[in-house]
């Protein structure tokens, strides 16, 4: 039943990359292999079509295919929270219904904007997405790349519809997460993003993180999560400090290029970001390789 599904949204949810061939076809084999690998490493869920998933660079058919394959390969072992992103309410509602029909377990909802949108319009948009299906919805706000942000009053308003269960804030402002937690009084769970320190967000009451780096260091991410959950901060912090290096790389390079490049090094033929995005630069590859080596499970343990 719904309650138990909602409970299950906690832990490490890697943002999946979207492997696309140079002719625009979705590369099914590496996507399935990546899902298997991550589930095998113990992640608590999968999130296709986040920022790292290049949703903004995919057409409707490509997006749908990514969700379809991810849900099918996951086969219910962990929840799949599919990203819905649109400029119009109508498009967002259509996407949410489509992904629900494909078997997604939740919706990660974000709003794209070209013109500034009044707050009432923003609240209407997310409410419509929440009402579109019976699925739990995670709000996603990323002021670095989107042209809109969710104000605290808007977040408070959006904490009321029962289907909206969590928020993932991808600002760099960790204090804002504590303000959200104080405001919503348990009605929304809070997930960290790659710009926040996961352990710090867990300390203040977060339930996990949705982030691109977990794609390439899944086992270490799960270990960090387990230590935080157990309140073993003394053990968590040294690991967190080492893993932070990957978040720094992620911020210094283009998200999709960084994760796709790292996955290629790990043997997943996920291709490059869609042009005109550039693939990971040679210096970026070198930095990522060095970071991966230093964070190998044996090293970072």
Which residues make up the interface to a copy of itself (CB under 8 A)? 24, 51, 54, 56-57, 59-60, 87-91, 111-112, 114-118, 120-122, 124-125, 145, 147, 172-176, 178-179, 181-182, 195-197, 199-200, 203-205, 231, 233-234, 237, 240-241, 244-245, 247-248, 254-256, 274-278
Comparing CB distances to a copy of itself, the nearer of 37 and 223 is 223
For residue 201, CA distances in Å to 127, 168, 173, 206 come to 26, 11, 11, 5
Instruction: Find, among 14, 172, 4, 180, the residue nearest to 83 by Cα.
Output: 14
Q: What is the spatial distance between Cα 116 and Cα 19, in angstroms, rounded to a whole number?
A: 32
Q: Write down the least CB distance from residue 73 to a copy of itself, Å.
A: 25
8 vs 277, which CB is nearer to a copy of itself? Answer: 277
* Shorter beta-carbon distance to a copy of itself: residue 39 or 93: 93
Q: Judged by CB, which is closer to a copy of itself: 36, or 124? A: 124
Question: What are the residues whose beta carbons fall under 8 Å from the beta carbon of 137, sequence distance 6 or more?
Answer: 106, 107, 108, 109, 126, 129, 130, 163, 164, 165
What SS3 class is residue 37? Answer: helix
First to last CA, the chain: 37
State the Cα–Cα distance between residues 155 and 263, nearest whole angstrom: 35
Q: Name the minimum Å distance from CB 10 to a copy of itself.
A: 18
Q: How far is the CB of 133 from a copy of itself (least distance, A)?
A: 18
| Shortest reach from residue 234's CB to a copy of itself, in Å | 7
Q: By C-beta, is 5 or 203 nearer to a copy of itself?
A: 203
Judged by beta carbon, residue 100 or residue 197, the one nearer a copy of itself is: 197
List of residues 6+ apart from 227 with CB closer than 8 A: 233, 235, 236, 239
Q: Which residue has the tokens 């912090």?
A: 237
Would you say 87 or 266 has its CB closer to a copy of itself?
87
Smallest distance, Å, CB 252 to a copy of itself? Answer: 10
Phi, psi of 191 (to 5 degrees): -105, 145
| Minimum distance from residue 101 beta carbon to a copy of itself (Å) | 19
Identify the DSSP state of 11.
E
Find the shortest distance in angstroms from Cβ 178 to a copy of itself. 5
The residues, ordered by sequence, that sit 6+ positions from 9 with a Cβ below 8 Å of its Cβ are 45, 79, 81, 106, 136, 138, 165, 166, 189, 207, 208
């Amino acid at each position: 039943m719904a309650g138990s599904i909602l409970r299950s949204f906690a832990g490490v949810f890697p943002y999946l990359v979207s492997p696309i061939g140079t002719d625009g076809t979705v590369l099914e084999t590496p996507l399935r292999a990546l899902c298997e690998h991550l589930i095998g490493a113990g992640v608590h869920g999968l999130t296709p079509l986040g920022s790292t998933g290049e949703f903004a660079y995919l057409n409707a058919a490509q997006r749908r295919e990514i969700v379809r394959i991810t849900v099918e390969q996951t086969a219910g072992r962990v929840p799949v929270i599919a990203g819905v992103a649109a400029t119009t309410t109508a498009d967002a509602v259509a996407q949410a219904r489509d992904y629900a029909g494909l078997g997604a377990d939740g919706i990660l909802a974000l709003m794209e904007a070209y013109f500034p949108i009044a707050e009432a319009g923003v609240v209407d948009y997310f409410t419509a997405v929440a009402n579109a299906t019976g699925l739990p919805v995670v709000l996603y706000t990323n002021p670095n790349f989107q042209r809109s942000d969710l104000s605290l009053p808007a977040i408070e308003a959006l904490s009321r519809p029962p289907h909206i269960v969590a928020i993932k804030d991808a600002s760099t402002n960790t204090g804002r997460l504590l303000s959200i937690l104080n405001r919503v009084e348990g009605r929304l769970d809070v997930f960290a993003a790659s710009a926040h320190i996961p352990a710090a967000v867990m300390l203040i009451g977060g339930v996990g993180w949705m982030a691109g780096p977990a794609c390439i260091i899944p086992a270490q991410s799960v270990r960090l999560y387990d230590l935080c959950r157990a309140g073993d901060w003394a053990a968590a912090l040294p690991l967190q400090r080492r893993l932070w290096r990957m978040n720094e790389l992620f911020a210094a390079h283009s998200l999709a290029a960084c994760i796709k490049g790292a996955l290629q090094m790990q043997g997943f033929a996920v291709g490059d970001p869609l042009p005109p995005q550039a693939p990971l630069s040679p210096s970026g590859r070198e930095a990522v390789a060095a970071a991966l080596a230093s964070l190998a499970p044996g090293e970072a343990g």
